[in-house]
Structure 1
Amino acid sequence: MEIAVIGVNHHLAPIEIREKVSFTESRKDEAVRTLKDYNIDEMVILSTCNRSEFYFSSNHINEGIEHVCDYLTQYAQCDNLKKYLIIKKDADAVRHLYKVTAGLDSLVIGEDQILGQVKDALQYAMNSFHSGKLLNKLFRDAITKAKQVKNTYKISENPTSISYVGLKMLKNEIKTLEGKKALIIGAGNMGSLTLRYIMDENLEKVYLTNRTHNKLNILLNDFKEVVPIPYEDRYDYLDEVDILITTTASPHIIFKKEKMPVLNKKLYILDLALPRDVEKEISEIDNVKLYDIDDLTKVIDKNIDYRRQLIEPIMEIIDSGVCEFYQWKCTTKLDPTIEQLQIRCEEIKRDTLDYIYKKTDITIKDRKIIEKMMNSALKKSIQKPISNLKKIDDHEKLDDYITMVNELFGM
C-alpha cells in the first residue's frame, strides 16, 4: 500500500483557484465515495483557507493519482488546474504532511491553527470511515511530531494565526485601531480568534453576527461588551463601522456590490474566508479598501527570520518521524501472517478442547480454567517470534522470513 497527496495550496495557487477547490464536509463525503470506486483504499481531505489536499493510500498509486487529478479538475471546472497542483507520493507525501502539521508549510511559518485543522480532518475521516489503519497512524504520528516541535522550539509561542496577521496588516494600514468601530461576520474558529485579538485593541465598538446563533451565543457570553446584530442587517452597519472582517464558511458570496450602501467614510474590509465572502468588485467602490488572504503575504512578521532559523533543526525531527513511520509501515507486511498464525492457534485450541471434552468428564468451572490456560500458552508460543520479526529492519530479510513462516505453517 502506497501513499500520495494531491492538492492546491497558497504556494502555487492564487485565491481564485483555491476557492474553487474548497471542500465542505458533505463535499468531502461525495469525493471519497466517488474516488473509492477507483482502487483508493483510504482518504483524508484537509481543506483550509490556504490549502485543499487529498491524502490517500492505494495499491495502484499512479492510477490513483490520475483519478484524483481528474476528479479535482472536474470539481473545480478548471481545465488548467494541473499546473497549480502539488503531487507527492511515498516519503515525499509523508514528509509533506509532517511539515504542514508543524506549520512549516503555512503562509506564516509556525501558524498555530493548522495543527487543530489537521486533527479535525483526521477525526472527520475516522468518523466517516474514510480512513483506516495506515492513514490514521500517519496522521496521528504527524500530530505527535508537530506537538514535539511546538513544545521544543516554541515556534507558535507568539500569535501567528491568519486572523492575527490580518489584523496586524489592518493596523499598519490604519495606523491605529483604537477608537474605531468594527463588524465581524462569523463565529467559528477564525471568527473567534479574530474577536479575541481585536478586543485587545481598544476599539470604540465591536459588532458581531453569524448566520446561526449557537456559536454566536458562546462568544457573546465570553465578551459581554460585544454588540450582536441580526445577520440579515449586516449591510445596514457598513456606513457606521471602519472595519469589516468576514470569516464565514459560506460557499457563497455574502457581500455583493449591488447591495452595498453609499459609504461616507473609509471602510477597510478584511476577507479571511475561503471561498471568499466579499465580491471582488466591491473593491471598485469609493472609500473601500478590500483585502483577502493572499494580501497577507505582504505583511512582514518580525518573528519570521527567527522561525526560519528553526526550520533546519525542526526538519531533523520531521525526518526522524518519517523514518519511524516507514519502519512501522514495513512491519505491517506481517499483518496477514500474524492473522493466519492467530487463526491457526484458534484451530489448535478448538481441536484440543474438543478432544479433552470428549475424553474427560470435567466441570464447567474446570473447562474455563483449561481454556484460559490454553489461550495463554498459545499466545506466548507466537508472541516472541512475532516480536522478533517486527524488529527486522532489512526489508528483503523480512520478506524472506515471512515466506519461510508461511511455508512452515502451511499458510
Structure 2
Amino acid sequence: MSYLIISFSHKNIDIKMREKLSFNSDEDKERFIKQILENEPTKEVVLLSTCNRVEIITRSSNVKQSARNIIEKLATYSGLDFELLYDRADIYDNDGAVHHLFSVASALDSLVIGETQIVGQLKDAFRFSQAKGYCSSNITRVMHYAFKCAAQVRNATSLGTGSVSVASTAVAKAKDIIGNTKGVKALVIGAGEMSELTVKHLISSGFDVTIISRDMKKAQNLATTFEVHVNVEPYSELSNLLAKTPVMITATSAPYPIITKDNAPSSNINRYWFDIAVPRDIDENISLSNLEVYSVDDLQDIVNENMSLRAEQAKTAYGIVSRMSLEFFEWLKSLEIEPIVKNLYVKGNDIIDKKVKNAIKKGYISASDEENIRKLCQTVITEYLHQPSKQLKDISKNMECDLVVGTVQNMFGFNNDSNLRNKYKCDHLSKN
C-alpha cells in the first residue's frame, strides 16, 4: 500500500478550472469520497478543497489505477476533459506524497507562502473524513506528522508571522493602488472567516469599512468584534454601495457569481474590485468604465514579492519538511518492529510459564522454588534477546526492513499487533 495524492492548485491550473473542481458543500465532498472508495485499490480518503487547491489524499494498493479512477471521477464532477485533467494533475506517491503533504500543511505550497489558514483547513478536512469513517490509522499517522511538521516550521521560522493570506495580499494591492487610504471607503461582501481577515487588514490600512451580507445578523456580530466602528448595510443596498465605493473585496462561499451584469452598476469614480472567492463572486464578463477587477490569480506580483522576501525562511522550512518526511518513514518502520520485539519477549515468557509448570508437575523442581526459577529464566531470555532486539530496531532504519519484518513474522508465527499500532493518535489535531 502506498500513500497517493492527486493535487490541483494555482501551480498547475487556472482559476476557471479551480472553480469547476471546487467542492462547496459537505454533501458534495461526501458523495465524491464515497465514489472514490468504490474503487477496489483505493483505501482511506481525505479531500481538501480551498480557494487555491483541491488535494485528494489516499492510500492505494495500485497507484496508477487509483489515480486514473480519481481523475475520471473529478472529470465527471467538474465537467472538464479527463485528458486535460490527467495531463495537468500533480500525482505524488509514497515519499513524494508525504513530502508534498508536509509542504502543503506548512504553507510552503500556498499562493502566499506562510499563509496561516491552510493548516486549519487541512485539519477540518481530516476531521470530516475521520468523523465519517473515511480514513483510519494510516492516514491518521501521516496527518499526525504533517501537523507536527507544520508546527515545527512555524516555531523555527517567521513564515507564519505578519500579513500572510490572500486577504492581506488583496488589501496590500488595494493600498498600493489607492496610496493614501485614510478615510477611503471599502466594502466587504460576506461575513465568514475570510471576510473577517479582510476587514481586519482594511482597518489596519486606514480604510473606512462597510460589511454587507445576506445574513445581516452574522454581519452585525462580525462588526462588533473590531475595536473601531464598522458599518453594516442590508444586502438590498448592494448595487448602491458598489456604485459609490472605491474598493470592494468579496469573499463569499456562493457557488455562483453574486455580482453580474444585472446588478453591477456603472459609476463616474474609479473603482477596484477584488474577488478572493473560488468559485468567483464576480462574473468574468463584466466590463465597465473606471472599473478594474482582480481575481486571486491577479495578485501574483505581490505573491512574487512575498516569495523573495521569505526565500531564506522558506529554505529553512523546506529543510524541516525533508527531514520530517524521512523521520516519518523511519517511524512507520519502527511501528513494524515494536510488535515483533514485544512478541519475542511474550513468546519467551509463555515458554517459561509452560516449562516451569511442567517441571513442577513432574517433580523436577519444588513449587517453593518456582518464583526464583522464573526470575532466572526471564533473566536468561532478556539477555538472550537483547542483541536481536537491538538489531531489529537498527534494521527499521534500513531499506530491507520490510523484507526482514515479513521473514521474522513468518519464522515465529507472529501476527501484526493492531492494538499497539492504533495507540498512536494525532496529538496536533486539536491545535491551531
Deviation per CA, 1:272-298: give whole Å up to 9, x if none. Answer: 00000010112x112221110001002
Aligned match of 1:75: 77
Residues 158 and 313 in structure 2, CA contact (< 8 A), matched pair in contact too: no
- TM-score calculated relative to the size of structure 2: 0.79
The amino acid that maps onto 2:275 is D
The separation in 1 between residues aligned to 2:414 and 2:244, in whole angstroms, is: 81
How many residue pairs were aligned?
Answer: 379
Specify whether residues 176 and 130 from structure 1 end up closer, same or farther in structure 2 by C-alpha distance, changes over 3 A only: farther
The separation in 2 between residues aligned to 1:19 and 1:72, in whole angstroms, is: 12
Residue pairs, 1:149-188, within 5 angstroms: 149-188=153-192
Aligned match of 2:428: none
Aligned match of 2:371: none
The amino acid that maps onto 1:115 is V
Specify whether residues 10 and 61 from structure 1 end up closer, same or farther in structure 2 by C-alpha distance, changes over 3 A only: same
The amino acid that maps onto 1:102 is S
Residues 334 and 402 in structure 1, CA contact (< 8 A), matched pair in contact too: no
The separation in 2 between residues aligned to 1:214 and 1:66, in whole angstroms, is: 45
Q: CA offset at residue 83 of structure 1?
A: 2.9
Q: Does 1:330 align with 2:333?
A: yes
The amino acid that maps onto 1:296 is L
Specify whether residues 201 and 398 from structure 1 end up closer, same or farther in structure 2 by C-alpha distance, changes over 3 A only: closer
Specify whether residues 107 and 250 from structure 1 end up closer, same or farther in structure 2 by C-alpha distance, changes over 3 A only: same
Q: Does 1:87 align with 2:91?
A: yes
Structure 1 unaligned spans of 5+: 353-376
Aligned match of 2:248: 244
Residue pairs, 1:7-22, within 5 angstroms: 7-22=7-22
Q: CA offset at residue 54 of structure 1?
A: 0.7
Residues 184 and 206 in structure 1, CA contact (< 8 A), matched pair in contact too: yes
Q: Per the alignment, in what secondary structure is the counterpart of residue 238 of structure 1? A: helix
Q: Per the alignment, in what secondary structure is the counterpart of residue 249 of structure 1? A: coil
Specify whether residues 406 and 198 from structure 1 end up closer, same or farther in structure 2 by C-alpha distance, changes over 3 A only: same
Residue pairs, 1:352-391, within 5 angstroms: 389=392
Which residue of 60, 67, 79 corresponds with 1:65?
67
Which stretch of structure 1 is more off in the superposition, 79-88 or 208-217? 208-217
The separation in 2 between residues aligned to 1:31 and 1:207, in whole angstroms, is: 38
Residues 333 and 401 in structure 2, CA contact (< 8 A), matched pair in contact too: no
Q: CA offset at residue 9 of structure 1?
A: 0.7
Aligned match of 1:371: none
The amino acid that maps onto 1:9 is S
Q: Per the alignment, in what secondary structure is the counterpart of residue 239 of structure 1? A: helix
The separation in 2 between residues aligned to 1:408 and 1:326, in whole angstroms, is: 25
The separation in 1 between residues aligned to 2:243 and 2:169, in whole angstroms, is: 25
Q: CA offset at residue 177 of structure 1?
A: 2.2
- TM-score calculated relative to the size of structure 1: 0.83
Residues 330 and 395 in structure 1, CA contact (< 8 A), matched pair in contact too: no
The separation in 2 between residues aligned to 1:144 and 1:387, in whole angstroms, is: 27
The separation in 2 between residues aligned to 1:45 and 1:214, in whole angstroms, is: 31
Q: Per the alignment, in what secondary structure is the counterpart of residue 290 of structure 1? A: strand
The separation in 2 between residues aligned to 1:245 and 1:405, in whole angstroms, is: 61
Aligned match of 1:131: 135
The separation in 1 between residues aligned to 2:200 and 2:390, in whole angstroms, is: 51
Q: Does 1:305 align with 2:316?
A: no
Q: Per the alignment, in what secondary structure is the counterpart of residue 264 of structure 1? A: coil
Specify whether residues 100 and 300 from structure 1 end up closer, same or farther in structure 2 by C-alpha distance, changes over 3 A only: closer
Identity %: 29
Residues 389 and 398 in structure 1, CA contact (< 8 A), matched pair in contact too: no
Q: CA offset at residue 220 of structure 1?
A: 2.1
Deviation per CA, 1:313-350: give whole Å up to 9, x if none. Answer: 322211111111112233455699799x69x99xx8xx
Residues 253 and 277 in structure 1, CA contact (< 8 A), matched pair in contact too: yes
Aligned match of 1:104: 108
Residue pairs, 1:196-345, within 5 angstroms: 196-203=200-207, 205-212=208-215, 215-223=218-226, 225-282=229-286, 284-299=287-302, 303-333=306-336
Q: CA offset at residue 391 of structure 1?
A: 5.3
Q: Does 1:29 align with 2:33?
A: no
The amino acid that maps onto 1:326 is F
Q: CA RMSD in A?
A: 3.0
Residues 337 and 406 in structure 1, CA contact (< 8 A), matched pair in contact too: no
Residues 169 and 303 in structure 2, CA contact (< 8 A), matched pair in contact too: no
Specify whether residues 221 and 70 from structure 1 end up closer, same or farther in structure 2 by C-alpha distance, changes over 3 A only: same
The separation in 2 between residues aligned to 1:2 and 1:300, in whole angstroms, is: 34
Which residue of 50, 53, 57 corresponds with 1:51?
53
Structure 2 unaligned spans of 5+: 355-377, 416-432
The amino acid that maps onto 1:5 is I
The separation in 2 between residues aligned to 1:390 and 1:210, in whole angstroms, is: 59
Deviation per CA, 1:84-106: give whole Å up to 9, x if none. Answer: 21111111111111111112112
